[in-house]
A and B are shown apart, each in its own frame.
Chain A
Amino acid sequence: MKLRATFFSISTVVAALSLLPVITLLALAVEQMGSVYFLRHEIFVNTIIVVSGTALMASLIGVPLAIITSIFDLPLKKMLLACLLMPLAVPSYIGAFAFYDAFGTGGELDRLLPITPPSVEGITGTIFVLALYTYPFVLLTTRASLSGLDSNQIFAARTLGSGFFEIFLKVIIPRVLNAVAGGALLVALYAISDFGTPAILGANTYTRAIFVEYNALGFSQAANLSIQLFVIISVFLVLESRARVAKALPSQFVAISLGSVGKCLAYLLMGSIIFTSTVLPVIIFSVWLNREGFVGVELLTVLNSVSVSFATAVLIALVAIPVSMTATRDRLGKALEKVTYLGFGIPGIVMGTAFIYVGLQFPPIYQTFFLLILAYLLRFLPLGVSSIRNKLEAQDDSLINAAKCLGTPDNEIFFRITLPLISKAIIAGGVLAFLETIRELPATLVLGPIGFETLATYMWRVYEGGYFALAAVPAFLIMGVSVLSLVVTLTMEDFSR
């Protein structure tokens, strides 16, 4: 019983902490009731355009790719799929960096190619770059729903005389619609919270405006904008929780063979997306690296990034265990878990603004690692919790029941049965948290203690200084670590299935 009580109290404390940023924002809002800052239409409209544009474009890329990689029989499909998921490992601001500098008059590509490519900037540029790095969300959700597609349905349709397009419209599309919506909402949530991409490409969205206000002595305006943004995000979160799809296993998987023209088109589509989202930035960074050499990043910066991310990952792995254990126990636990998900919906820049304010109220924690790591913990804990909870829920109770029958105390059951069973999920959750922390930009920028520089904040400084080429080394390091962590997580989750 003791262990259960400990877990419950940890869950409660974490849930209470998760409320802290929201309460802070509300307190700030109340404090400034007198000078309520009305909705800034331009920022609102820009944000909505960026978010819906990105969701639409990511779906236009993700859905065809999902169909190609799931119902058609293509050689090298698995390898291509892995490449198509690579953008998940690349934070979009790195893409923004590469595209912003490489495209347009006088850009890197202008020098290398005989033609001048159009510049990537502003709202359209932001949509373009965000979609290139978020379509895997749609690809994954759509594929998951297509994997439940029973080929008997298609055969039945064929027997009844339907052509390919009719089958596509009447069998496939209705099946995936919900999943596409779910994926598109994940894209929307990413797009609305992302700070680096719109900031670098100059699209005046909420996250960028909050940062500008924060920098221009406008603390209350920053808080007001943060609250508006949080309200919009809450709507998306509610919608997203409704778009979950039930999974059913098919009795027979679909594997349609394609003619040579169809194959060519499929490869062309996959190839061009992989080239633009992954290969092109790598080429651009290589050109920079070649020109500038290995300069700029100090070893300390790398160590800072790795150690703070590692500490966060370990902390999240440790805290996620009690939260997910409590969540699978009863309704109250479930409710506590839901509260801890709040942080995931709070963009880094909003979390940063809120915690600066918290720090100013409690001077001993102002500008300390404590606040920074707390911000990371609240933002990324859900990654650990969902990983462990999924495993716990999928688990067969018979082992535990057998142990109970034999009179094993709860503590021993946990350490000898449950913990070994969920160990992979704990590591996977920790790795995901590591991945997110190492590339986190806005909260680190605002909350980092004095003298604390990470790879991400270094890239931002290089961007502000205008010396883009110095970003090559940190960009490669972040991409390398990200790919590595992603490979680890995917193997942990037996993704190959």
Chain B
Amino acid sequence: MRRRDFNKALLTCGLTPCIGLAQDSDSNVISVDELPELVGEISLYLGRGEGGLYENVLKAISDRNPKFKLNIRRGPTAALANAIVAEKEAGIRRADVFWAVDAGAIGLVVDQEIAEPLPSELVSQLRPNYRYRNWLPVSGRIRTLPFNTSALGIEQIPQSIMSLPDEGFKLGWAPEYASFQSFITAMRLLAGNEATSDWLLKVNSSAKRYAGELGVVMGVERGEVDIGFANHYYTLRLKAGKPDAMLDLAFTKGDSGCLVNASGILALTSNKTVHNFIRYLFTKEVQSYLSSEAFEIPLVDGIALPRGIPSLDLISPPAIDLTQLSDLRPTLDLMRELRVL
């Protein structure tokens, strides 16, 4: 399959028409044309939560490589990370690659020293502040506060995440979602366990619970709640499909409320097929697709940011290294103890 066809395959899978995908830029990002054909079979553990857009990428890769067989196990990101660790303890290895929606779960696996090192030229494609040991961030996402614009104006929303529960807004959340849990990990690291407990208890006593963050954003748009907690792209995707939606994004300043997180990938097997498969995710085509269709933040140099997102200079994320988010277990224990989970 040629590159144009690959783009077309991605597009036909996509839900909305896409602009800006076929543009060739001058950057030295590699194209799918430069990659060798994938041959062989690999098993991928795919953390859920992307609403089918990652599936489109995987399907386009499979369609382009007829001699390549991809076996996918889907599950909540934390559950899959847990499975990989439990499998390792039992002496089993089922997954060759783990693609997770959240850096915390990736870190949990990396901390077990079971991730294989990745070729250096793969790592060097990434923006310099997004290079890590034994895993690669695929796309970035920002924690945001989607709010209903008919219920309140952006100036009414506090710039501190910690004071948000005291304002008497109706809040919506999805505490079982991995990105939310990483946000709580960041809160623990920045504000301490005690303040985080207080915060969780306050929100838990009044917030409406959703299964996932798309649900949260839909709830905000329907006016069921005033403000939600969600990754930025759910709002942008909903607004792309429904431009008159009563919905907008607010950002807190310098705290866990505007944490920049990333989906990430790591290899548990080291071979050419695995490496070339991972290379696909960092091609111009896939990174542009993730940016323009999934509204995720491309982490490879030279790919345009998604429409509707303020420039990364305008938001002020907290100083948290993504690898610190692997401290997931105490977060889950805390949430469990407080009956949030």
**Chains A and B form a bound pair:** yes
Interface residues of A (CB under 8 A from B): 40, 42, 104-106, 200, 202, 212-219, 221, 360-361, 363, 366-367, 450-451, 453, 461, 463-467
B254 in contact (CB, < 8 A) = no
Closest A residue, CB atoms, query B234: A466
Within residues 213 to 259 of chain B, which ones have a CB less than 8 A from any CB in chain A? 214-215, 218, 221-224
Given A451-B73, A464-B212, A466-B51 in contact, is the A215-B79 Cβ separation under 8 Å? yes
Which one of A214, A363, A464 has the highest number of Cβ atoms from chain B below 10 Å of its Cβ? A464
Partner of B51, one of A200, A202, A367, A467: A467
Number of interface residues of B (CB under 8 A): 42
Assess whether A450 is in contact with B73, with CB atoms less than 8 Å apart. Answer: yes
Given A215-B79, A218-B332 in contact, is the A451-B71 Cβ separation under 8 Å? yes
B interface majority secondary structure: mixed
Given A215-B76, A221-B336, A367-B94 in contact, is the A466-B212 Cβ separation under 8 Å? yes
B65 in contact (CB, < 8 A) = no
Q: Give me 9 A-to-B residue pairs in the complex whose CB atoms sit less than 8 angstroms apart, sorted by A's number.
A: A42-B339, A106-B218, A106-B224, A215-B75, A217-B79, A360-B89, A361-B90, A450-B94, A461-B74
Residues of chain B within 8 A (CB-CB) of A450 are 43, 71-73, 94
A219 to B87, CA, bound (A): 13
Given A215-B78, A466-B214 in contact, is the A366-B49 Cβ separation under 8 Å? no
Given A366-B90, A464-B49, A465-B51 in contact, is the A217-B222 Cβ separation under 8 Å? no
Residues of chain B within 8 A (CB-CB) of A105 are 222-224
Assess whether B52 is in contact with A467, with CB atoms less than 8 Å apart. Answer: yes
How would residues 46 to 88 of chain B score, 1 for a CB under 8 Å from any chain A CB and 0 otherwise? 0011111000000000000000000111111011011000110
Residues of chain B within 8 A (CB-CB) of A366 are 87, 90, 92, 94
Residues of chain B within 8 A (CB-CB) of A200 are 211
B328 in contact (CB, < 8 A) = yes
Residues of chain B within 8 A (CB-CB) of A466 are 51, 211-212, 214-215, 218
Assess whether B87 is in contact with A106, with CB atoms less than 8 Å apart. Answer: no
Assess whether A216 is in contact with B211, with CB atoms less than 8 Å apart. Answer: no
Interface residues of B (CB under 8 A from A): 43, 48-52, 71-76, 78-79, 81-82, 86-87, 89-92, 94, 176, 181, 209, 211-212, 214-215, 218, 221-224, 328-329, 332, 335-336, 339, 341
Q: How many A-B residue pairs have CB under 8 A?
A: 93
A246 to B123, CA, bound (A): 74
Residues of chain A within 8 A (CB-CB) of B221 are 106
Assess whether B82 is in contact with A219, with CB atoms less than 8 Å apart. Answer: yes
Assess whether A451 is in contact with B329, with CB atoms less than 8 Å apart. Answer: no
Assess whether A212 is in contact with B214, with CB atoms less than 8 Å apart. Answer: no
A363 to B94, CA, bound (A): 10
A451 to B51, CA, bound (A): 17
Residues of chain B within 8 A (CB-CB) of A42 are 339
A366 to B73, CA, bound (A): 14
Partner of B341, one of A216, A219, A453: A216
What is the minimal beta-carbon distance from A109 to any residue of chain B, in angstroms?
13
Assess whether B78 is in contact with A216, with CB atoms less than 8 Å apart. Answer: yes
A366 to B211, CA, bound (A): 29
Residues of chain A within 8 A (CB-CB) of B72 are 450-451
Assess whether B215 is in contact with A217, with CB atoms less than 8 Å apart. Answer: no
Given A450-B73, A467-B51 in contact, is the A360-B87 Cβ separation under 8 Å? yes
Residues of chain A within 8 A (CB-CB) of B328 are 217
Residues of chain B within 8 A (CB-CB) of A215 are 75-76, 78-79, 82, 176
A42 to B341, CA, bound (A): 12
Given A216-B336, A219-B86, A451-B71 in contact, is the A465-B222 Cβ separation under 8 Å? no
Residues of chain A within 8 A (CB-CB) of B86 are 219, 360
Residues of chain B within 8 A (CB-CB) of A463 are 211
Residues of chain A within 8 A (CB-CB) of B82 are 215, 217, 219
Closest B residue, CB atoms, query A362: B90
A216 to B334, CA, bound (A): 12
